[in-house]
Structure 1
Amino acid sequence: MRVFVTGATGFIGSAVTRELLDAGHEVLGLARSDRSAEAVKAAGAEVHRGDLNDLDSLRRGAEATDGVAHLAFIHDFTNLPASGEADLRAIEAIGEVLDGTGKPLVVTSGLLTAPGRLGTEEDPADPDSPGKHRHASEFATLALAERGVRASVLRLPPSVHGEGDIGFVPMFIDAARAKGVSAMVGDGGNHWAAVHRLDAARLYRLALETAPAGVRLHAIGDEGVPFREIAETIGRGLEVPVVSVPPEQATDHFGWLGRFATVDMRASGALTEKLLGWRPEQPALLPDLEAGHYFRTA
């Protein structure tokens, strides 16, 4: 299969590119800069120049391939609604090309299930979920399944971890290093689901190869790690005290990260495992943190 991968040089996308190539597929990787183009070539994939706002480039990429893995996203935390709108436009442009072809389209989403309980693949997007800026994209993707596209949604948890992580966990580590304490909000009893990037990459490949149309998939390694344990592991890694921050002071301590420090997002991937035969094989979040690579400094 020749696969068009958006976000092909990102933390997760680069692992998906490698997974696909190692499995014998060809990859056409979207690159918006010379640096990204060099990374795509170095991985052994073909370069396709463009970006999420260049809808014609997305259409051409989809036309030239047998399927699409859409991972690129504009992570502008100052204006997530605008990022969600750009994502929706990209999916609609790709969908125009794939309409009626039966080709696979795997679109990345967040855990859009209701906070505070164990979410499953059967749960539709919930308006109270932290990732509500991705709601429209998820609905649009699933609607394509009714138009002859083998479209599926792959939901990622708050932490996709592994060496080279640039997501929330290293941000909390940087905050702890700067402030000299590793903090949790309240008793830290809220939970984060998590998955290793290499396990997630394998799930993208399996989804492209065999996922039926119209399904939601959950890439879940840890169903729910208490944030307290994450803060404690960071504290040990940096050799700094672990402290509790009252909920009303979360923003003062963490800045914009405060909202994510309070997220209670647990989820199951049991239906995905049964459907695709996927099983997490890489280290869970806490052992990955304890391995030490998160705490190395240049």
Structure 2
Amino acid sequence: MHVFVTGASGWIGSATIDDLVAAGHRVTGLVRSDAAAARVETAGATALRGDLDDLDALRRGAAESDGVVHLANKHDWSDAAGTSAAERAAVEAMGEVLAGSDRPFVVASGIAGLTQDRPATEQDPSPFVGPDAMRGGSENRAFDFVADGVRSVAARFAPTVHGMGDHGFIAAIVAAARQQGVSGYVGDGTNRWSAVHRSDAARIVRLGLESAPAGTRLHVVAEPALTTRSIAEAIGDGLGLPVTSIDPADADAHFGFIGRFFGFEMSATSDATQQAFDWTPTGPTLFEDIGAGAYFEARGA
């Protein structure tokens, strides 16, 4: 299969390309720079220059492929509206090209906001509909194309996709702990996050691309529900810092941008995903990665 991957040189995208190439697929990756192009080509893929605002490049990549894995996102927390608009426009551009082809279209999504008082399941529909919704309502917009003959699949990622070299949410929480001299959690720390290792995430994305029926919601989750207090305690142990509660009103000042997320409930199960695709996560757990220094040694280098 010839697969077009957006976000190709990113944390999840680069692992996904490695997995796709190892499985025998031919890959074209969307990249924004010469350095990113070099990384993608070293991994055995072809680079296509462009970004999420370059809809012509997105259409070209989709048109020339047998399927699309859409992982790119601007993640501009200072311009949530602009980020959401770009995400929706990208999904629409590629979905329109894929219409009538029955080709797979795997779209990155998340579990934040799906449920409030329990872990989300694959049966929970996304409540985010329309251009003004989170991520531009991209999961539901992608599913709109099922009626047009697109095999749309939502890949709902855990809030932390961890591993050696991770620069995402956990790295930001570690950076806040270093800066503040304490490892904090928000409120009583009983809200929960799910987690998945990067290698496991890449594998289930590929499996979904290869065989998931249209309308499938993949839960890219290995550990369903880790309390944020336990995460803060693991970070505190790793840094040798005290662990303390941060008042929700002070979360943004203490943590920076990550404060708005660290107090959220972001837990989910993946039982249906694991059963349907014979996917058993085998990578290290989040606490194993933290204990192995994944978030400490690189920062101190």
The bucket for the TM-score relative to the shorter chain is: over 0.9
1:277 aligns to what?
A: 278
RMSD of aligned residue pairs (Cα, Å): 1.5
Deviations 1:146-199 (A, max 9, x none): 111111000001111111111110001011111111011122111101111110
Flag the 1:262–1:280 CA change in 2: closer, same or farther, 3 A: same
Contact kept, 8 Å, 2:128 with 2:140, in 1: the verdict is no
Aligned partner letter, 2:89: R
Give, in whole Å, the separation in 1 of the partners of 2:133 and 2:286: 24
Task: Provide TM-score, normalisation by structure 1.
Answer: 0.96
1:204 aligns to what?
A: 205
Contact kept, 8 Å, 2:4 with 2:69, in 1: the verdict is yes
Task: Provide TM-score, normalisation by structure 2.
Answer: 0.95
Give, in whole Å, the separation in 1 of the partners of 2:102 and 2:21: 22
1:81 aligns to what?
A: 81
User: For 1:267, what is the secondary structure of its paired residue?
Assistant: coil
Structure 1 gaps, min length 5: none
Residue 83 of structure 1, CA deviation: 0.6
Runs of 4+ in structure 1 over 4 Å off? none
Give, in whole Å, the separation in 1 of the partners of 2:116 and 2:134: 15
Contact kept, 8 Å, 1:117 with 1:266, in 2: the verdict is yes
Aligned partner letter, 1:198: S
Moved more, 119-128 or 264-273: 119-128
Give, in whole Å, the separation in 2 of the partners of 1:207 and 1:263: 27
Residue 104 of structure 1, CA deviation: 0.6
Aligned partner letter, 1:160: V
Residue 203 of structure 1, CA deviation: 0.6
Contact kept, 8 Å, 2:128 with 2:134, in 1: the verdict is no
User: For 2:295, what is the secondary structure of its paired residue?
Assistant: helix
Q: Do residues 3 (structure 1) and 3 (structure 2) align?
A: yes
Aligned partner letter, 2:5: V
1:167 aligns to what?
A: 168
Deviations 1:47-83 (A, max 9, x none): 1111111101111111111100000100101112211
Aligned partner letter, 2:246: V
Flag the 1:175–1:157 CA change in 2: closer, same or farther, 3 A: same
Aligned partner letter, 1:241: P
Residue 254 of structure 1, CA deviation: 1.7
User: For 1:115, what is the secondary structure of its paired residue?
Assistant: coil
Residue 252 of structure 1, CA deviation: 2.6
Deviations 1:65-123 (A, max 9, x none): 11000001001011122111101101111111110001111000011412331111111
Flag the 1:215–1:99 CA change in 2: closer, same or farther, 3 A: same
Aligned partner letter, 1:77: W
1:48 aligns to what?
A: 48
Q: Do residues 31 (structure 1) and 28 (structure 2) align?
A: no
Q: Do residues 148 (structure 1) and 149 (structure 2) align?
A: yes
Give, in whole Å, the separation in 1 of the partners of 2:253 and 2:47: 43
User: For 2:88, what is the secondary structure of its paired residue?
Assistant: helix
Flag the 1:54–1:204 CA change in 2: closer, same or farther, 3 A: same
Structure 2 gaps, min length 5: none
Flag the 1:285–1:127 CA change in 2: closer, same or farther, 3 A: same
How does 1:60-79 map onto structure 2 within 5 Å?
60-79=60-79
Aligned residues: percent identity? 49
How does 1:71-220 map onto structure 2 within 5 Å?
71-111=71-111, 112-126=113-127, 132-134=133-135, 136-220=137-221
1:255 aligns to what?
A: 256
Deviations 1:21-65 (A, max 9, x none): 000101001111111111111111111111111101111111111
Count how many residue pairs are aligned between Structure 1 and Structure 2: 296
Deviations 1:216-254 (A, max 9, x none): 110111101011111011001111111111222222322
Contact kept, 8 Å, 1:58 with 1:94, in 2: the verdict is yes
Aligned partner letter, 2:203: R
Give, in whole Å, the separation in 2 of the partners of 1:148 and 1:76: 32
1:13 aligns to what?
A: 13
User: For 1:212, what is the secondary structure of its paired residue?
Assistant: coil
